[in-house]
A and B are shown apart, each in its own frame.
Chain A
């Protein structure tokens, strides 16, 4: 049974679109990347899953239970880090975390200590006096202190310095090894590339692509650049699997997905002066989804 099942989820705020039709599953133990540009509907999807808002149509199940009806029950095993963290400003970080822990029926004090040591957070400071990055750390600890089996992260690494990002990611991997399923929403592809096993791309409120990370990595995509002795005709590159084509006089570059043999035959007919074929980074692969 999937940990998360989102079925044709739709949310309109009055007349403005939140999401149109979002549909995906997350299996137990997965780290699932949820990527898309700002305003695509990532946060709307997550907030609906957390029952902060109600769907216009469709539904979402978490642990096999309807996320709206059984929200409190589901929440026991869910840790959530919102994209912007806001807490009771006058509380000390430690008090806030203890307050957060008091909602779960377990003793989390050791875990609060461990996590705050790992992330280098001073628990005696008032929330109001914390920097943006340090507030984010409070958010991370708050989301992880009860050892949830589903961790939902919305743009989690914004505001963290590279060292903290690294520690945070290794924390997540630890949690994942412990058995936690992770939904990682982001618009930064490189961090998704680093950690996720599978990704879904959301654009204008719809999932437009879903794939295993390994498939992306398994060089099915090639980044090709050619230079020719004679001017190149863009029409010559109208081949299935070619995207992001850019031609400029005697040079051309594109992303190719498909049989290498077909590509080579096509290229062989050209009078080439130079060629490079390499691995694109995800950014380049996804760019055409974004546009």
Chain B
């Protein structure tokens, strides 16, 4: 437990900053929506004038932007991007930072196994993403409720937050396995970010070019895409299974690789 609390304390500052960032993003997004609505502008018309690629990425061809839920759905993409960067970095750095900051000679010569160290770190990281998810959820409900026109969005937000949590878990585990895989500790965050950017770009390409639709299983951004999760749609079970499998494989690989790793000092 001592390592768990130590990790939580070490991550607290970054968690607060990320939370502030996400809440600001939602607030700014929904305030803009309120602005559009009160000005009587037709947001749908505005987006319709944009190039099709941008419409596809924003999802404005599927979401009704004149409604709070539709506008929030567009914002969700950016919320998801922030949450994945947070989760990737958290997963990678939680494990790699001891080597990067050369504290591995302190921690790994204590009477604890590497498995115990990794478990504490991953549990602390999990706690962090759960807190960030709950803060996102709470602030979304409040802000969409406040700026929305009385539309009931709680079910849609609940579905999106479940999706967000799956994405966070996935990138957290990708981050951890990157740290275990990286020869040099400084490379861990780089690999994790590359995975994140790669999958994000792929999801955009799929949006633009529908021929690439078969590739959707390769990117979580597509599996948990806000424009496909509008009620009555929910998360597709096949994506949940796929995600669960990937998370388990990544975490198990991280444990195994770390067990055999020569720690850099």
Contacts and interface: CB of A to CB of B under 8 A. Distances in A.
17 contacts: A13-B262, A50-B109, A52-B104, A52-B105, A52-B108, A53-B262, A54-B260, A71-B113, A73-B111, A75-B109, A75-B110, A80-B109, A86-B103, A86-B106, A103-B2, A103-B110, A142-B106
B6 interface: yes
| Closest 4 pairs between A and B when the two form their complex, measured CB to CB | A86-B102, A75-B111, A102-B2, A53-B262
Contacts of A102: 2
Residue in A13, A72, A87 whose Cβ sees the most chain B Cβ within 10 Å: A72
Interface residues of B, number: 20
A104 interface: yes
A88 B104 contact: no
A76 interface: yes
A116 interface: no
Contacts of A73: 111
Nearest to A50: B109
Contacts of B260: 54
B99 to A, nearest CB: 10
B112 A72 contact: yes
B101 interface: yes
A51 B109 CA distance: 8
B10 interface: yes
A197 interface: no
Interface in B86-112: 101-106, 108-112
Contacts of A84: 102
Contact of B265 (A52, A71, A87): A52
Residue in B109, B112, B260, B263 whose Cβ sees the most chain A Cβ within 10 Å: B109
A82 interface: yes
Contact of B6 (A72, A80, A86, A99): A99
A142 B6 CA distance: 17
Interface string B61-90: 000000000000000000000000000000
B110 A100 contact: yes
A80 B263 CA distance: 16
Mostly, the A contact residues are: loop
A47 interface: yes
A86 B101 CA distance: 7
Contacts of B101: 86, 88-89
A196 to B, nearest CB: 22
A100 B105 CA distance: 12
A78 interface: yes
A161 B189 CA distance: 39
Nearest to A84: B102
Residue in B103, B105, B113, B262 whose Cβ sees the most chain A Cβ within 10 Å: B105
B112 A80 contact: no
A103 B5 CA distance: 13
Contacts of B265: 47, 52, 82
A103 B112 contact: yes
Residue in B10, B112, B265 whose Cβ sees the most chain A Cβ within 10 Å: B265
A99 B105 CA distance: 14
Contacts of A71: 113
A227 B2 CA distance: 69
A103 B111 contact: yes
Contacts of B263: 52-53
Contacts of A47: 105, 265
Contacts of A86: 101-103, 105-106
A87 B108 CA distance: 13
Contacts of A51: 108
Interface in A63-113: 71-73, 75-76, 78, 80, 82, 84, 86-89, 99-100, 102-104
A72 B106 CA distance: 13
Interface string A107-145: 000000000000000000000000000000000001000
Given A53-B263, A73-B111, A88 B103 contact: yes
Interface in B175-191: none
A54 B103 CA distance: 18
Contacts of A75: 109-112
Contacts of B111: 72-73, 75-76, 103-104
Contacts of A142: 106
B11 to A, nearest CB: 12
Given A53-B263, A86-B101, A100 B108 contact: no
B164 to A, nearest CB: 30
Given A52-B262, A53-B263, A82-B265, A99 B109 contact: no
A76 B263 CA distance: 20
Nearest to B13: A90
A54 B257 CA distance: 13
A16 to B, nearest CB: 13
